[in-house]
Structure 1
Amino acid sequence: MLKFIKNHMESIDGIATYPIISLTIFFVFFAILFWWVMTTSKERIKELSELPLDDNQPKP
């Protein structure tokens, strides 16, 4: 079974670009997330962390 998959994958032209694209998307996502965490103010983080405890929100 594995030999069949390996032979099938080798027959696809340009298959090597998919892992590169996936790695790039992964790296960019976490780089942006890291940047957002580092640049967000402490007040905003505190506000977001208290949202589940806020009783002023309307209940569904």
Structure 2
Amino acid sequence: MLKFIKHNMESIIGIEIFPIISVLIFFLFFVGLIIYAIRMKQSEVDEISALPLNDSTETTNASNTTGHE
């Protein structure tokens, strides 16, 4: 099965560029994500880091005003 796929892929002209493009997109995405994280304001970082610890039931109850019951 793998030989069949490998043979078909080798017969496609220009196929060798796709892995290079994939790695480049992957690398650029994470570089952009790191730059975004570094440039964030400290207040935003503090707010985001406190989200799992917030026990605010007011926001969840306010969003469920339509109700299913």
TM-score class, shorter-chain normalisation, is 0.7 to 0.9
Q: Percent identity?
A: 45
Matches within 5 A, 1:5-16: 5-16=5-16
> Which residue of 1 is the match for residue 67 of structure 2?
none
- Cα 1:10/1:4, change in 2 over 3 Å: same
User: Unaligned regions of 5+ residues in structure 1, if any?
Assistant: none
Matches within 5 A, 1:27-46: 27-46=27-46
The alpha carbon displacement at 1:55 in A equals 1.4
Normalising by structure 1, we get a TM-score of 0.82
Larger RCO, structure (CA 8 Å, separation 6 or more): 1
> Which residue of 2 is the match for residue 17 of structure 1?
17
Deviating runs (4+, > 6 A) in structure 1?
A: none
Q: Which amino acid aligns with 2:56?
A: D
Instruction: Please say which structure displays the higher CA radius of gyration.
Output: 2
